[in-house]
Amino acid sequence: MSISRPFSSAIQTNRVLGLTDNIVRTTLIVGNWKMNKTASEAATFICTVVPKLPAPPTIEIVVAPPFIALESVRTALGASTSVQLGAQNLFWESHGAYTGEVSAPMLKELGCRYVIIGHSERRTLFGEQDEEVRKKIRSALTHHLKPILCIGESLSQREQGQTDEVLRRQLTGGLTGLSDKDMAAVAVAYEPVWAIGTGKAATSEQAVAAHRTIRAFLADTWSADLAEATRILYGGSVTPHNVSGLLQSDQIDGALIGGACLEVESFATICCLAESIGACG
């Protein structure tokens, strides 16, 4: 029997508190726009894509545009939208002399609910270390943003059989010291570096194996209930063609999408496919 997917954060919280409701993990689809679209392009995109999305969705749909487009996307979405806003990064201090940085309270005020943290592009291109990832997650939680912690192995690490070790190390680095209550707001995204932007998505079997490793770590470090309640997304060359196969597994609770979230048709199709699976999963 697979785990049902319809969303209830109240039920998720109940699990963390040790209550006995059914465990639910709502499918979460996140579009990571990376450094694409100006503020006006972003608004146009939102106005075109939103009518094509499931409404109201039983899944959660999040768009994470560049910082400079958050305001225009929020305005384009309107007050009654079911599409949520996410950011791609933050800095852990709330204010001060940190030229070029953006803080959690700033993102919160712009309407963000989620923030992507520790993306492999941040780690490899900008030298982000686990210690910084941890501080960013703590700051997000302090300011009531839900962090999506990105982890994943490189091709050489996979080829050397180090995948599980890398995942556990990055989980330890990012999440050490968080309470059960903190963890209730955290999602993990498994994004193998070799699958990002390459067109070579992990197979369902590879993704499920990694997700099981992540869930086992969560169970060992916190509890079996916490592990069952935590959403684990897959990211890396997700497209309308492979998303259904990935989401069929009850281990894969959603997707973090790069390239395919930039086109109206492909993002809308992915969301509709996820909705149809989520509704009957």
Determine, following the binding rule CB under 6 A, whether residue 270 of this chain makes contact with ligand 13P. Answer: no
143 a catalytic residue: no
- Binding residue for ligand 13P (CB under 6 A) from 258, 270, 271, 281? 258
44-52: Cβ within 8 A, 24+ apart: 45/262, 45/264, 46/73, 46/76, 46/77, 46/83, 47/76, 48/264, 49/264, 49/267, 49/268, 50/76, 50/77, 50/81, 50/83, 52/264, 52/265, 52/268, 52/272
Q: Which of 60, 121, 191, 275 is catalytic?
A: 191
How far apart CA 257 and CA 267 sit, in angstroms, is: 9
191 a catalytic residue: yes
Please state the closest distance from residue 17 (CB atom) to ligand 13P, in A: 31
Q: Which of 60, 119, 132, 143 is catalytic?
A: 119
| Residue 14 vs 237, nearer CB to ligand 13P | 237
Please state the closest distance from residue 21 (CB atom) to ligand 13P, in A: 31
For the chain, first and last CA: distance in Å? 10
Q: How many CB atoms lie within 10 A of CB 94?
A: 14
Determine, following the binding rule CB under 6 A, whether residue 151 of this chain makes contact with ligand 13P. Answer: no
Determine, following the binding rule CB under 6 A, whether residue 252 of this chain makes contact with ligand 13P. Answer: no
2, burial (CB in 10 Å: exposed 0-12, middle 13-18, buried 19+)? exposed
- Binding residue for ligand 13P (CB under 6 A) from 70, 184, 257, 271? 257
Determine, following the binding rule CB under 6 A, whether residue 173 of this chain makes contact with ligand 13P. Answer: no
Residues in the chain: 281
| Residue 29 vs 43, nearer CB to ligand 13P | 29
The catalytic site residues sit at 119, 191
**Residues in the site for ligand 13P, rule: CB under 6 A?**
32, 119, 191, 196-197, 235-238, 256-260
